[in-house]
Structure 1
Amino acid sequence: MERNNFLKDIAQVMFGNAALLLSQVLTGFVLPKLMSVESFGNYRIFMLYGTYAGLLHFGFVDGIFFKYAGKNIDDIKREEISKYFSVFIVIEAITSMVIISTSVLFFSGSKYGFIFFTIGIYSFVLNVVTFFQYFSQAIMRFGLVSSASLIQAATISIIIVSVLVSKLVGFSNGVNYQTYVLMYIGVYCVLLVFYTFGYKNGNRYNKISITGKYGVNGISEVFKIGLPITIAYQISNLTLNLDNQFVSMFFSARTFAKYSFAYNLISITVSVVLAVAMVLFPYLNKLGKAAALKQYINNIDYILLFAYASLISYYPVRIIIQWFLPKYQESLVYFRILSPGVAITLCITAIVSNYYKVMDDNIRYLRNGCISLVITLILDTVVYFTFKDVIAMAFVSLVELAIWYTIEDVSFRIKYNIKNFSSYLYIGLMVVAFEVATGMQNVLLSFIIYVCLYIVISLLVMRRSMKVLSQKLINIVRY
């Protein structure tokens, strides 16, 4: 029964994320067509700083997630969760007003004035939505999370298609980044309304409300649990985005648009696999530490096998960009260099970080992340001032990901006595295989060679995991 529920939850979240994937494809391929390169670059600057908005819940939603992960909704007191929610609303409102005021006082009239003003609004809406989302994941209400993903996907798709039709019939020349940013924030307002009604419909989930009985009991505990997780996440975020940050600061908006466009394409692949991570932690938490540790190597291997198979998407993406978005062809160079890092990123964000949470070892994860961030900052600085070249920044980004994964993974394996380091050999071989294959001019030959190399390397290095995974898939189909 437990396995059936797990598969059902995975299916629900994957379905919602599949819908989000379709909307991200529209955003990734159609939105650049509807904007000038400079305007798209400014939109991506908003999205870059928007990724840091998650830090502005100060660990509270992570603490809520950790506190309630795997619990039954009937065992949660309405007064307790409502108190937490009310305190959180006040904190976010104050934070939002500080950002908005700062944008008006110090950046008024500039591009960054608009960006930071909207970030102030976005941070409030985003973090309140995140509170609902994390609480829903914690109590394993994945149907609600999946429905929210569907609404988000549908709303974004309607916006993109409407602007596209408007341009095709001659009503407009597309959309500027200011208008689209406001519409994007509007999508999260819709999600906020949806989640609010989802916990106000009078059934057993009618738990969350605004209350004047704030109190302080338990609040510090939530912050204490969540803050190290959030800081670790934001350090991870900085590590992943530092090259983006350098390019946005030291190169033109046009160059950043093309570099960031490559990252936008990569994020499409990452978002689908991260659906598994949303479901994984509550179940690992219920399994217990010993049982979860036994699955560590297999989970790493499964993610790697799936991620490097997903890189086959490089070929249709390459064809689409050359045909539909020729002004972004330069992005293909960055996309090709950065793509093998997808597997490493997923290992860290979907598996390793969740295991640190399960083992209640968040401080170690945070410490390792700080070391990785310092190394990343040093490498990016040296490479920029040495080469002042975007391609060099892309290459060093791949190296930095490998260093970060090694620090986090080896530290975890040493502490919990987990052996078998075949994943490192597999990553190294697949990175070389992808770069060599995609370096060929003949697309069809390149595709065939990569697929053959993937199969051969996987069979040689991951034979045991492939056998176990195949058997599990067969059992699922039979079940």
Structure 2
Amino acid sequence: MFYKYAQLMKNFAFVIFSNLISLLISVFVILVIPKYIGVADYGYFQLYIFYTMFVGFMHFGINDGLYLRVGGVDYCSIDKKSFFSQYYLLFVFQLILAFLSLIFFTFSDFEHEKKFIIYMTLICMVVVNTRYMLLFTLQATYRIKEYSVITIFDRTSFLISVFLLLIFNFENFQFFIYADLTSKFLSLFLASYYCKDIVFRGFNDFDLKHALGQLVLNAKVGVKLMLSNIASKMIIGNVRLAIEVAWSVVVFGKISLMLSITGFVMIFINSIGLVLFPFLRRVDSSKLNAIYKVLRNALSVFLLFFLFFYYPVSSFLKYWLVDYKDVLIYLYIIFPIVVFEGKMSLLVNTYLKVLRKEKVLLKVNFLTVIVSLVVTSISVFVIGDLEVALYGILFVTAFRVVIFELYIERFLVIDLKKSIFLEVFVVFYFLFVNRMYSQYASFILYCALMLLVIFMARKSIFRLKELFFKRDGA
């Protein structure tokens, strides 16, 4: 079938199921933990989650380079002996970095709670970066089923740990960090089992010189993508960190809670991106422009439709998490971030990786970081208004996607300006009606506009179906 439809759908099914499980678990955890532990403890736990977002910086692009180099290759075709050497050399490298960092932070002036969080982040760095080499190998070589099982196992073990902690009234944030690390350790063991022909080999197979050369090559290939990913996280991370500095860890935790809510749909979107990358690497480059435009328009409708969930989610959270009610009034500002971050994650990132435009990713992401720093400085430290700071997060995420799409428009020779304008207009409309009217009135007004948007995008939705069902030569 066209584009190996059966294989693609099978991988989609595995990934969507695993990430649906992760989504449900994340919903449970985010709704339950802040309900039953103190606001300050939840803030410290979120600070740990925030710090662990950046541990990928410490593999210096090695895993990203491996992913780019191996993407689309069958697992049986890779050199297991070479990967064995690279795996253990990376592990030792991470241990050395963690030990040196431990010495440095031991003599720092951070408060006790933050020192503890940093120490746990260093442990997380060793486990996660080592595990990612195996996970990236599974993703790139289309072993999506195994990757999905590891994802489910990771989140399920964390859920069980959280459930036990709450039953026995362990409400200190440190125990929840231990639970997260335990789940990561266990998932590393499971990943090692699935890649046992890489991990479990004789010492005679270890080739230091070859492994060092391969890691350096991976780093050269992946460093741009790694820096781009770090810059991407800093775009929103700048604002979150500034909020923690300017206000408190309590406010930081509350804002992080809202951002976590929008992260639900990102779990689902990222899962599709995992399948698309190795798939698109096998597609004729002449067809990439047509696929992009159809996928983009269909995805845009889906993401704009997601904004409807703001209304029931907002009403429920204000009732369920009373201690967070003072910031939940701004939830309507956070929700549209998914429209831009979702498209960035699924479509823009995936396409630029396929086209090997890591340098473009890096340049635009760093430009956006600079814009983010300026916006953060003004909104947090000059104006000092939390609502303005949240609008700043939305602005920089929209700015980045628009810049990237204008580049893709020129590179693929397709017309995207009207679609970009429509998308930005709908988001602005959503913000306006929710700022000016009651939830009931804004729901009706937004519903009316979305009916028009769906009608306008109906051709792209049907075209998406044709792309995956059409047979070669049909």
Q: How many matched pairs?
A: 464
Per the TM alignment, residue 238 of structure 1 is displaced from its structure 2 partner at its CA by: 0.5
Deviation at 1:319, TM superposition (A): 2.4
1:21 matched to 2:23? The reply is yes
Partner Cα separation in structure 2 for residue 366 and residue 283 of structure 1: 23
Query: 1:352, CA displacement in angstroms?
Result: 0.9
Work out the percentage of aligned pairs sharing the same amino acid.
19
Match of 1:54 among 50, 53, 56: 56
Corresponding residue number in structure 1 for 2:130: 128
Distance in 2 (CA, whole Å) between partners of 1:402 and 1:323 is: 30
Task: Report the alpha carbon displacement of residue 474 of structure 1 after superposing the two structures with TM.
Answer: 8.8
- Whether 2:332 is the aligned partner of 1:311: answer no
Equivalent position to 2:161, from 151, 159, 162: 159
Give 1:363 deviation, angstroms.
0.9
Partner of 1:466: 461
Cross-structure match for 1:227: 223
Q: Which string of whole-angstrom CA distances, capped at 9 and with x for unpartnered residues, describes residues 9-45 of structure 1?
A: 0110010000000110012110101211111111111
Residue from 303, 323, 328 that aligns with 1:327: 323
| AA in 1 matched with 2:460 | S
Distance 1:441 1:332 in 2: 16
Contact map agreement 1:259 1:334 (CA 8 A) in 2: no
Secondary structure, counterpart of 1:106 in structure 2: coil
Aligned to 1:400: 396
Deviation, structure 1 residue 388: 0.4
Structure 1: gaps spanning 5 or more residues: 167-171, 201-205
The 1-side partners of 2:227 and 2:128 are apart by 17
* Maintained 8 Å contact 1:103/1:114: no
More deviation, 411-420/116-125: 411-420
Q: Kindly state the Cα deviation for residue 254 of structure 1 after the two structures are TM-superposed.
A: 1.7
Q: Does 1:45 align with 2:39?
A: no
User: Secondary structure of 2:207's match?
Assistant: coil
**Deviation digits for residues 287-329 of structure 1 (CA, Å, limit 9, x no counterpart):** 1432223311222222211112222221221122122111111
Q: Which residue of 1 aligns with 2:176?
A: 180
Change beyond 3 A, Cα 1:470–1:456: farther
Distance (whole Å) between structure 2 residues aligned to residue 16 and residue 164 of structure 1: 25
Choose from 271, 274, 283 the match for 1:275: 271
Alignment of 1:148-297 (within 5 A): 148-166=150-168, 172=169, 174-200=170-196, 206-209=197-200, 211=203, 212-215=206-209, 216-297=212-293
CA separation in 2, counterparts of 1:442 and 1:214? 65
TM-score (norm 2): 0.93
Q: Which residue of 2 aligns with 1:146?
A: 148
- 2:385 corresponds to 1:383: no
Deviation at 1:469, TM superposition (A): 3.6
TM-score, normalisation: structure 1? 0.92
Change (3 A) 1:158 1:423: same
State the distance in 2 between where 1:418 and 1:96 align.
47
What CA RMSD, in Å, does the superposition of the two structures yield over aligned residues?
2.1
* Contact residue 62 and residue 227 of structure 1 kept, 8 A: yes
Partners of 1:289 and 1:358 within 8 A in 2: no
Per-residue deviation, 1:154 = 1.5
* Equivalent in the alignment of 2:106: 104
Q: Matched residues in 1 for 2:124 and 2:421: separation?
A: 42
Q: Secondary structure at the match of 2:171?
A: coil
> Please, which runs of 5 or more residues in structure 2 have no aligned partner?
none
Partner SS state of residue 30, structure 1: helix
Correspondent of 2:345 among 339, 346, 349: 349
Classify 1:251/1:142 alpha carbon distance in 2 versus 1 (closer, same or farther; 3 Å): same
Quote the offset at 1:440 in angstroms.
6.4
**More relative contact order in 1 or in 2 (CA 8 Å, sep 6+)?**
2
Alignment-mate amino acid for residue 214 of structure 1 = L
- The residue aligned with 1:203 is none
Deviations 1:127-164 (A, max 9, x none): 11211111100010011111112112211221232233
Closer/same/farther in 2, CA of residues 471 and 332 from structure 1, 3 Å limit? farther
Instruction: Identify the range of structure 1 (219-228 vs 418-427) with the bigger mean alpha-carbon deviation.
Output: 418-427
| Structure-2 separation of matches of 1:57 and 1:219 | 10
